[in-house]
Amino acid sequence: MSQQPIDFDAPTPQPRSFTAEVIQAEILERLTYSVGKDPLVARPHDWLKATILAVRARIIDRWMESSRETWRTSHKRVYYLSLEFLIGRLLRDAMSNIGIMEPVRTALGNLNVDLGGLVDLEPDAALGNGGLGRLAACFLESMSTVDIPAYGYGIRYVHGLFRQELSEGWQVELPEEWLAHGNPWEFERRESAYEIGFGGHVEPIAEPDGSTRLEWRPSEHVLAVAFDTPIVGWRGKRVNTLRLWSAQPIDPILLDRFNSGDHIGALEESARAEAITRVLYPADTTPSGQELRLRQEYFFSSASLQDIVRRHLQQYGDLGSLADKVAIQLNDTHPAISVAELMRILIDIHGLKWAQAWKITRATFSYTNHTLLPESLETWPVALLERMLPRQMQIIYAINAEVLTEARQRAGFNDQQIANVSLIDEHGGRRVRMGQLAFVGSHSINGVSALHTELMRKTVFGDLSRLYPERINNKTNGVTPRRWLLQCNPGLTRLITERIGPAFQDNLDRLVDLDKHADDPGFQEQFAAVKRANKARLADLIRDRQGVVVSPDALFDVQVKRIHEYKRQLLNVIEAVALYSDIRFHPEKDWVPRVKVFAGKAAPGYWNAKLIIKLINDVAKVINNDPAVRGLLKVVFLPNYNVSLAEAIIPAADLSEQISTAGMEASGTGNMKFAMNGALTIGTLDGANVEMVERVGRDNMIIFGLTAKEVTQRQARNETGRAAVEASPALKGALESIASGVFSPDDPNRYRDLIGGLYDHDWFMVARDFDAYAAAQRQVDAIWGNPRRWAAMAIRNTAHMSWFSSDRTIRQYAEEIWGVPAASA
């Protein structure tokens, strides 16, 4: 059957009624005819699915119209390639953004169903781990909000990173099961399926004109199948698409092997293909783990590029205009292989000459760097790439030759500078530097905070920046205020609306109007009441999940983020041990009641991070059960940190711990979310903390510790932490109690090496920043003791956070990198 031409000028369907009565009828219709349940016997999960389907139906018309409008106007599209999209639950987000939260609540109430219970029943999409994936989710929502035609491209992980549980205080990794009962938000696109090759060899093919072209002939193929999820922006003006790829075998079963009795072997190809999209960040400590990681990255990069090129040719018919109509943003180094893959597609499949293909590629790609840590700047063994992706490796060699020739002839680089800019690292085994590949293959390379960008220009990409001085720029991260204020903190949203009106919901810059109310005692009391209600809800959650009773009147001191030594959860828990000692030895002092809340996952292969989780739980067990503490200090670790847990914790926080080693945190976005919700920040001058000081004011934050420059100087001198430990009785006492087994009587030597590292090297400056951190915490106590001062500072944090909206960030990307128009506030 021939395909009918698409009429993109077809009339837009009229919007449906938003009354509770109409929505109630739609939910009942979905429950009956889509879920197949009688309302009399429907269970909560049935009502959840019916409600999602009813809400989804109201998004689809807008989704299709957004796509039609882009085709009609030939607007440039943005494609955001990210290995993670930590989108969380979508029901509340969708209802809020299209303005039907209350009608749906009323409709369900009429059916004796509680909307809040249904929202909590929806599983978190297991598509990310930490800040990288949450940033990608915020950016997608903001692109829809500011009316930029965009696609997000990623992987449809079946089991995500892992579901974290605790067993005797140790992290245990279990598979996420978020897709066990299907995903009612997604649509499978069987027509958007692409073959992805691996291995094989490159064949020279003689052309009629006497030239030779190269053709890659893979030895293995898998199928990338698209699943689309609509991402709706604020007020529902635009709905963009998150397209996730699922890996499937070309042949699901080898019948000849099955019928010959090899029933398991017959499914080998199927298992090999499906492994690609089962787990986020499979451990890469083994050769097979490294191969799977690379297969994942190439799989989703190739599928996305094939899809982008197909769509462009379908609309424009000519790849010469690709960079004029397509902007591809690489979110960190994971999709960096896209540079070589697009070159292969342009040259080998579509016949472009090298010079034209390279010009188009660089004009199309831009790259966001998220880390200065060497272990996070991916490299792959040359031998692995030559075996798995032989044609792409040839292209990488050719790109490298062009770059090194330019560096030598135009820039006059010496041998050391040549080695620094080379795509191939020759030290300790030849490896391809994916960060270098992304850099040379992009027209724009951005950092994610002012400090990070400055350090990136001076350190990891120093010589590349000298070779291409116009490429590096800064785009400080932001967070979507819809999820991280309006939705997760409705009490504060109502209070702000009552005080300054609703305009801030459409233009966050209006939040600054709160500043003039910061010293108003009446408003301070209302602000504090909202915070206490949020803390009471978190206290209930802590009791229900961990069996620890905490008082909502205590100071809630929160550090929730990925567990890593540079994020310095260790510094926090050591200070808790020191504080515990002081409380016991000086019961006569007027101590501030404090609850320390930790949450976060450690990478499965990162032993020290997992040991820190165990230490937190060991310390909690002792402190929480010691009657001498009199409830003045509680320590809690909440397992399986995800978006939904963050939405419960962040609005309840009084104090936000942003205490990374200066110069090591690229930006951070948790710092922004906490401050937006009225928490005070205790932190170092690291990442976006620096810009928060500029916007919020140093008087409204508690800043301590070494600067990035001072950290670098001490690391260069190879100083150890021993002198700092010996000079600090509080630190020395805390470390001795931990190392001697006070908190681990079942294994007294458990933390000996962890603590010994602070004496012998202290790379992350835990010992050398301890006294400054402890003093800052006592400053926090003093401010807490003055409720009016605390409230004024908290209100001013919220009032001055508009600049940290991801809408602002995306408008800057649009204007300065992508060259696309964006709607103003």
User: Which amino acids are annotated catalytic?
Assistant: 370, 561-562, 567, 669, 673
Angle, helices 806-813 vs 131-145, to 10°: value is 70
Is residue 217 within a helix (H) or strand (E), and if so which, with residue range? strand 212-217
Residue 490 C-beta-side C-alpha neighbours within 13 Å: 7
Judge whether 570 and 608 are in contact, CB under 8 Å: no
Q: Are 562 and 600 in contact (CB under 8 A)?
A: yes
Which residues are CB-contacts of 470 (< 8 A; sequence separation ≥ 6)?
Answer: none
Residue 332's nearest CA partner among 470, 460, 193 is 460
CA distances from 600 to 223, 562, 567, 638, 766 (A): 34, 5, 11, 8, 19
Rg of the Cα atoms in the chain: 27
Burial class (CB in 10 A: 0-12, 13-18, 19+), 39: middle
**Identity (one letter) of the amino acid at 458?**
K
Q: 665 vs 161, 377, 416, 435, CA distance in Å?
A: 21, 14, 28, 17
Which residue type, as a one-letter code, is found at position 180? A
Helices (H) and strands (E) in the chain, counts: 33, 22
289: β partners: none
Question: Angle at CA 768, nearest 5°, toward 764 and 771?
Answer: 130
Nearest to 674 by CA among 646, 633, 694: 646
Q: How many residues does the chain have?
A: 825
Dihedral angle sign, alpha carbons of residues 378, 382, 384, 387 = positive
Angstrom distance (rounded) from CA 234 to CA 181: 29
Question: DSSP of 697-762, one letter per residue?
Answer: -GGGSEE-S--HHHHHHHHHTT--SHHHHHH-HHHHHHHHHHHTTTT-TTSTTTTHHHHHHHHHT-
For residue 479, give the DSSP letter.
B
State how far the Cα of 702 lies from the Cα of 783, in Å rounded to an integer.
10
Distance CA 765, CA 64 (A): 53
